[in-house]
Amino acid sequence: MGEEIKVIVFRLGEEEYGIEVDKVQTIERMMPITRVPKTYAFVKGVINLRGVVIPVINLRGRFGLEEVEATDQTRVIIVAVNDMQVGFIVDSASDVIDLNTDSIDNPPEVVGGIKAKYLRGVAKVGEERLLVMLNLSEVLNKSEIIQLEGLEE
């Protein structure tokens, strides 16, 4: 028997994703973001989260999906992995569900255009609902991200 875990559910477009609740520090509404120059395109900038400066990633951009305008459903999920705090901009986040790790299947080759290595697996919730479980350390892995050019004029 696998263990019971709690999962935060959020949406990007038509798909539902899940992150283990113990990786999530807080979920915030959209807030002013300070742009950081010369960084990855999907890094939207940094926010002030109660005195701590935290970089914010557009998760759509990270997965190579088309970026959309923020709505009042847009949320910033603050996660903490490997001593790093990062905010994910997602289309909406509303649900917390209980999941048994046994119900997580290995990731299929391609899901919705997202490279499978970002995925921990796909969980089946109830009859119809499919939840894509993220592999957070891969999402935050920087080794594949190309080195930025130096600051030259």
Partner 1 sequence: MDMNQYLTMFIDESNDHLQSLNENMLQLESNPDDIGIVQIIFRSAHTLKGMAATMGYEDLASLTHQMENVLDLVRNEKLKMQDFIFDTLFKSLDALESMVQDITEGGDGKADVSSIVASLQSIVRGEGASSGGAAAEGDNSAVAVQGIELDEFQFSVLDQSISEGHKVLYIQVTLREDCQLKAVRAYMVFETLERSGEIVKTYPDVQEIEQGEFDRVFSLYYITQRETQDIESQILGVSEIETTTVVALDHESLQQMVQESAATAEAVKPQVSEAAPAAVASPEAKSPSAPAKESKAPARNAGGGNPSRTIRVDIERLDVLMNLFSELLIDRVRLEQLASESKNQELTDTVEHMSRVSSDLQNIVLKLRMVPVDTVFNRFPRMVRDLAKTLDKKIDLIITGAETELDRTVIDEIGDPLVHLLRNSADHGVEPVADRIAAGKPETGTVHLRAFHSGNNVFIEIEDDGRGIYRDKILKNALAKGVVTEAEAATMTDDEVNQLLFAPGFSTAEKISDVSGRGVGLDVVKSKIVALGGNVTIYSTPGKGTNFSVQLPLTLSIIAAMLIRMGSEKYAIPLSSIVETGIIKRGQIKHVHGSRMIQFRESLIPVISLSRLFEIPDFDEELEEETEIVVIRKGDRLAALTIDDFIGQSEIVIKNLGKYLPAIQGVSGATILGDGQVALIIDANAFIK
Is residue 48 near partner 1 by the rule CB under 8 A?
Answer: yes
Q: Rounded to an integer, what distance in angstroms lies between the CA atom of residue 18 and that of residue 38? A: 30
Instruction: Give 24 or 104: the residue with its C-beta nearer to partner 1.
Output: 24
Token pair belonging to 150: 């130096």
Residue from 76, 86, 123, 134 in contact with partner 1 (CB under 8 A)? 86
Span from 42-50, 96-104, 108-116, 128-136 in contact with partner 1 (CB under 8 A)? 42-50
Least distance from partner 1 to the Cβ atom of residue 75, Å: 19
Q: Does residue number 38 form part of the binding site for partner 1 (CB under 8 A)?
A: yes
> For residue 17, what is the enclosing H or E element?
strand 15-20
Q: Which stretch binds partner 1 (CB under 8 A): 38-46, 106-114, 115-123, 125-133?
A: 38-46
- The residue type of 138 is E
Choice between 40 and 101, CB closer to partner 1: 40
3-state DSSP of 79-116? EEECCEEEEEEECEEEEEEEEEHHHEECCCCEECCEEH
